[in-house]
Structure formats: structure tokens, C-alpha cells
Amino acid sequence: MFVRFALSAKLHFSREITPEAVEAIETAVQEANRQLFRRGTPSGAPEEQIGRITRWQVNASALALDIESGPFTRAHDALFRFRKHIAQVLGRYRLGVREISIAAFRITMPGPIPDEAIPKLPFIRQVRRQDGAVELDLLFSASDLEGRVPDRLVRLIEEKKEALTYGGKAEHWELIYESEQRPRVYAGDPTQEMIERGWIRHGASRGQWIFAPQAVHLFRAFEAIVMDHVIRPLGFSEMVFPKLVPWEVWMRSGHAKGVYPEIYYVCTPKTRDPAYWEDIGDYFKVTGVVPVEEIRKRIDGPIGGMCYAQCPPFWPFVQGETLANSCLPIRVFDRSGTSHRYESGGIHGIERVDEFHRIEVLWLGTAEQTIAIADELHEAYRHIFDDILELEWRSAKVTPWFMAQEGLVGESADAAIGTRDYEAVLPYSGTWLEFQNVSVNGDKYPKGFNVKIQSGAECWSGCSGIGLERWTAAFLAQKGFDTSDWPETVAKLAGEPQEIFTFL
Ligand code: SER
Ligand code: ZN
């Protein structure tokens, strides 16, 4: 049992095919079936698994072909190989290939394949089940075939089938380090108390907070600790990454495979001509209502979304480049703005929000350099959480974030590649909160954005997201609001909470 491809196509020539040319086609077809299609196939591959032209017919200026194959020299590959060959042969008769049209394309996959494994895609016209196999009738253009869409479709169905069969494959979680336990000095939910104390208030948008000076002082204290103990000693330089991420970036980062339910989408006006928009403003002036449905008709896009993972929009800076050995490893970070995720029902306090603030640390170099920097970071973070913040925390190897964000579970095949989550216990709920991560992302990003290293060594990268809301939630949940209970460095950096609003 093996996957089968069958297609009917027509090669349209520049003019009527002459009888001499028909003879040349006959020979070319035989040669193709005997030799051309065998090229590159495993030796000993059974004949029925290799592409072959099973029927051909000339009608005026068109050559109709039926091609069938198993997994080797797949029907669509055979078609383009043959086109190249026949173009040479018929060139002698001053006949050129003008166009290829695809009349039918069928993929037969051996079963059992559950219905849910068959994607709902516009070019799947019919799905039939036959002797345990699945037959797909497909509507493809020649450029779909040239772009290898059939191969990706087969792979997708296999992946979906596998995910369904091994659906139990769990989110990976493997304990790496556990700190000592710390005395419990506070049992409240810090978000509640921050609200009561006037440190934060809900923003107008969902999952969004407005942070007052007291909270921001704490953010800045944490930032200062990160600067003093991570960024400066390890030599990271500040950059500013874009916060609007177009599809071009997410196509290369892999987010385009599955991040849709969580994106904050971004649209652009069809025109910036004020006259085009005047009535929209007028409508609001008169009614006090923003005519959202009407606006929807006058915008283009979405062109992408707001920053989601923070590091992907860095990559166009190095895209297509070869990096000199002498500049490696590159170490940078960004703290220039927010990340946004549509969290639906999951919003909780300041821990799980739609809009959050994070310092994103990013590095790239050879595999050895990338792994070494991740180790340096782990050591620096351990020092901060054990000795400076005095937290009760642990770290665990988890499903890599870049896999999770594509909708995958499990682990990377390479043990050196992966994400380590840092978690802190929240005494008020007894649960653990992931407050930052460190990842070795392997060659995923350099490959996706076509970045190379002068020496020819494989380019790898890593990143680490430091969540300021999460640090705050973890710290306050464990240390409470009495600054005399706080570790000295934090108390000194944050200063006494400053009240600047008086509400009557
Ligand atoms: N880019 C990584 C993530 O989104 C680290 O911030 O988890
Ligand atoms: Zn990242």
C-alpha cells in the first residue's frame, strides 16, 4: 500500500502539432517512461511506484497526457520533467509549450484515514473512500503542482492522522531545577490588592491594565535587576523591534501555521483621503456611535497582527544575510513595546492578559555559541531568583514555544533544542505561574529567514522572554505588599509606593 497520484493534463503548443512531431512525441514518451522518470528513484523501486505516462493523445495544437505514479517521480514531477524534455524535442519542429492545463488530479492514500484528518480546503472537490483507502479529487492549477502543493497536502493529512492517532501525546514537562522553599508571608491574590491599593485599573480594552506609578516602579526595579545581572554582564545590546507584524514575517516564523485564534489583527484604510472618511466622523458626531460595520467596508487587510512573540519581527534585519564569524555570537534585546494575545476565557488578573510587557532577549551564532549563551542565562537567572528576589521557583523543560505557537505538542527531536519555562508558586492558589522562558530554537529562525554564517557552520538562535507582569505577580504573591518583607535590592530599587491620585 502506497500513496498514488494520477493526473490528466494538456500541454498547449504554439501551433498545430505536425505528423512528424507526433512521431517524435511517441519516442519521447517511451524514453520518458523507460529512463527520464526513473532518474533519482531508489534502485529496485517497483515499477508501479514510479511515475509513467499511461496515455497520450494529440489534438490539433494540444498534447493530452495521463500520468500515474506511486511515491517516486510523482505524477506532477513527471509532468514537469516531461514538459522540459518535450520542449527540447519539439523545438526542432518549431513548436513551443505555451501553457499547461490540468483537467484532473487525484491522490489516493492508503487507509485508514479518519474524516477529521482530511482538511477543508477549497481545492479538494471530492473525497471518496474505496477499500479502506481515501481518494481525493483535486482542482489544481499547473502552478499549484509546480509549487508542490500535492506533496504538502499529503504531508498535512499524514500529520493530522498522526495527531489524531497519538492524540494523547502530551504537552512536554520535565522538571530541571527546584529552589528551596520560602517562608509564606502573604496569602492574598496580588491583583486584587493592587486594585484596592490603586496600583492598577482595568484598561478600556479586554485583558488590559493601566499601571499606576506604584506598579511601574516595581516593573522598573525588575528591569534594573535584569539590566545589572543579565543584559550588561552578558553583553546584550538594545534594539527596537517592530510591534506590527505582517504576514511575511509569520509565514517565515511558522506562526502562519496556527496562531489565528489568538491574533490581534491589523487593518489599513482603503484610502487616507479625508473625503472618503468624512461621513464616518460625521455619523459619530451626530449619533455618538462609531459605525463599525461601515468602517469594516472601508478597510483593507488584515495585513498581519500586533506583536505576539516579540522576536519574529527582528529577523528581517538579518534576512538573506551571511554573518561574519567575527561578529558572532550576536546578543541583542528589545523592551520597546507590548505583546498582544487574544486570550478569550483565559484572562486572569495581571497574570494572563491580552496586552503585556516583556523584555525579549535574543541571540544567534553557531550551535555551540547558542547553547552556551542559554547556559549563561540560566545561571544569571538562577542567581536573580535565588539570591536577589528570593523566590520559590522551579524550571522545567517544556514543549518549545515555537512548536506550541504552531499548534504542536511534544518535544524537538534534537535534545539541545527546546524551551525551559521558569515557574513560581502562587501561595494564594497553590498553582505555579510561568513567568519567563529561555529557548534554544535551533536553526528554525535562521533557516526561515535565510541567514547564514561565514564559516559555513549551521546558524542557530535562541531567545528568552522576561514577562514584567508575570514577575510582578509572582513576586507580590510570594512577598506581599509590606516592603519590609521584601528583599533589600527590590525594596531599594522600587522605593516607597508613591500615591499621586486622590479620588473623591
Ligand atoms: N518569543 C518567545 C515566546 O514568545 C520568548 O518571549 O515565548
Ligand atoms: Zn522569542
**Quick check: helix, strand or coil at residue 475?**
helix
- Cβ count within 10 A of residue 324: 10
Which atom of ligand 1 lies closest to the CA of 401?
A: 7
What's the pLDDT tens digit per position in 164-206? 877 666 778 999 999 999 999 999 999 999 999 999 999 999 9
Whether 375 is catalytic is: no
pLDDT at 408: 84
Q: Out of 437, 441, 459, 469, which one is annotated catalytic?
A: 437
Nearby residues of 273 by Cβ (< 8 Å), 6 or more positions away: none
| Cβ(310) – ligand 1 distance below 6 Å | yes
Q: Tell the CATH topology of 4-166.
A: Alpha-Beta Plaits (3.30.70)
pLDDT of residue 169: 62
Q: What are phi and psi of 254, to 5 degrees?
A: 95, -10
Q: Which ligand is nearest to the CA of 262?
A: 1
Q: Which ligand is nearest to the CA of 405?
A: 1
* 3-class secondary-structure state, position 436: strand
Atom of ligand 1 nearest to the CA of 309: 4
- Confidence at residue 130, expressed as pLDDT on a 0 to 100 scale: 85
CATH architecture of 173-267+302-494: 2-Layer Sandwich (3.30)
Is the CB of 75 inside a 6 Å radius of any atom of ligand 1?
no
463 is catalytic: yes
Please give the mean pLDDT across all residues of the chain: 96
421 classed as catalytic: yes
Per-residue pLDDT of 96-110, as tens digits, reads 999 999 999 999 999
pLDDT reported for residue 27: 97
Q: In 254-345, which residue ranges form alpha helices assigned H by DSSP?
A: 274-287, 292-297
Instruction: Judge if the beta carbon of residue 353 lies within 6 A of ligand 1.
Output: no
Residue 458 among the catalytic residues: no
> What's the CA gap between 324 and 500, in Å, rounded?
51
Give residue-wise pLDDT tens across range 413-442.
Answer: 999 999 999 999 999 999 999 999 999 999
Q: List b or e across 247-282, with b for residues whose CB sees 16 or more CB atoms inside 10 angstroms.
A: eebbebbbbeeebeebbbebeeeeeeeeeeeeeeee
| % of the chain residues with pLDDT over 90 | 93
> What pLDDT shows up at residue 167?
65
The catalytic residue among 334, 390, 421, 423 is 421
Specify the pLDDT at position 152.
97
Catalytic residue among 311, 331, 334, 390: 311
Measured CA angle at 108 (ends 103, 111), to 5 deg: 160
Which of helix, strand or coil describes residue 10? strand
Is the minimum distance from the CB of 463 to ligand 1 under 6 angstroms? yes
In angstroms, the Cα distances linking 421 to 86, 176, 178, 394, 433 are 57, 10, 12, 8, 10
pLDDT of residue 347: 74
Does the CB atom of residue 360 touch ligand 1 within 6 A?
yes
**461 has which bridge partners?**
364
| Residue of the CA atom closest to atom 7 of ligand 1 | 401
pLDDT attached to residue 6: 98
470 C-alpha to ligand 1 centroid (Å): 13
Residues lower than pLDDT 70 in the chain: 167-169
Nearest CA to ligand 1 atom 6: 465
Give the Cα separation of 363 and 331 in Å (integer). Answer: 4
